């Protein structure tokens, strides 16, 4: 009798146990044993959490739909980081610890992501002004991807919308099974 295919569960199981056997054959492969943590995915089946896979699918759809916007955003942020890094290098220079443009780019990333290690700090007035602007940009940058993904998540969970137009107010965007306009209350079509 043929066993029905279980798909991804078999694949995850194979990947989870492969490092055990690989570490016996290949010297130094013991560090791959951490992959065994994939076995924790069985918790979904044991605790009957498979019902949440629909929500995970909606989240994946939203992330996939926002991929292009997020990519453009990240490219813009990376360009901004390089420009600000070069600017802070020119303003502060070697005498204040900014020994190279890559070091200055590191400082820009640390400051923009609001981590702020404190290993490099601007000493000049203009450097402090640039640092203040970078900090404010960092807060703004956190909000943008959140908004992009939130909009796509709302679209993914909203469901289908018809293009049926109300003859009274000329607005569209009604639910597919709507009989009356949700904006003015007039009857929709025949």
Count of the separate structural domains present in the chain: 3
Considering the domain architecture, whether residues 72 and 135 belong to the same structural domain is answered as: yes
The pTM for the full model equals 0.60
DSSP-derived 3-state class of residue 174: coil
Q: In this predicted structure, what is the pLDDT of residue 142?
A: 86
Residue 58 within a domain: no
Considering the domain architecture, whether residues 143 and 104 belong to the same structural domain is answered as: yes
User: Of all residues in the chain, what percent carry a pLDDT higher than 70?
Assistant: 76
Residue 142 within a domain: yes
pLDDT band, very low/low/confident/very high, at 1 (cuts 50, 70, 90) = very low
Query: Can you tell me the mean pLDDT for 153-162?
Result: 73
Query: Can you tell me the mean pLDDT for 128-152?
Result: 91
Residue 59 within a domain: no
Considering the domain architecture, whether residues 78 and 152 belong to the same structural domain is answered as: yes
Considering the domain architecture, whether residues 164 and 154 belong to the same structural domain is answered as: no
Considering the domain architecture, whether residues 189 and 142 belong to the same structural domain is answered as: no
Range of the domain at 16: 8-47
Among 2-16, 89-103, 120-134, name the one with the lowest average pLDDT: 2-16
- In this structure, the dihedral spanned by the alpha carbons of residues 68, 69, 75 and 81, taken in order and rounded to 10 degrees, is -160
Query: Residue 138 pLDDT more than 80?
Result: yes
Considering the domain architecture, whether residues 105 and 120 belong to the same structural domain is answered as: yes
Query: Residue 2 pLDDT more than 50?
Result: no
Q: How many residues does the chain have?
A: 190
Residue 34 within a domain: yes
Q: How many CB atoms lie within 10 A of CB 141?
A: 18
Q: What are the tens digits of pLDDT across the range 67-119? A: 999 999 999 999 999 999 999 999 999 999 999 999 999 999 999 998 989 89
Considering the domain architecture, whether residues 70 and 21 belong to the same structural domain is answered as: no
The tokens for 160 are 């289908």
Query: Buried b / exposed e across 51-79, counting CB within 10 Å, b at 16+?
Result: eeeeeeeeeeebeebbeebeeeeeeebee
């Amino acid at each position: 009798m043929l066993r029905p295919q279980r798909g991804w569960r078999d694949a995850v199981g194979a990947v989870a146990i492969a490092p055990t056997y690989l570490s016996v054959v290949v010297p130094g492969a013991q560090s791959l044993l951490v992959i065994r943590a994939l076995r924790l995915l069985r918790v979904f089946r044991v605790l009957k959490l498979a019902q949440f896979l629909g929500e995970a699918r909606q989240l994946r759809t939203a992330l996939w739909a926002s991929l292009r916007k997020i990519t453009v955003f990240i490219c813009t942020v990376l360009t901004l980081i390089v420009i600000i890094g070069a600017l802070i290098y020119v303003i502060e220079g070697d005498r204040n610890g900014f020994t190279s443009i890559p070091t200055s780019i590191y400082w820009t990333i640390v400051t923009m992501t609001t981590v702020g290690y404190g290993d490099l700090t601007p000493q000049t007035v203009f450097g402090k002004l640039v640092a203040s602007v970078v900090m404010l940009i960092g807060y703004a940058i956190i909000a943008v991807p959140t908004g992009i993904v939130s909009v796509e998540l709302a679209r993914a969970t909203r469901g289908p919308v018809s293009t049926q137009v109300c003859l009274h107010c000329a607005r569209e965007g009604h639910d597919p099974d709507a009989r009356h306009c949700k904006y003015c209350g007039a009857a929709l079509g025949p």
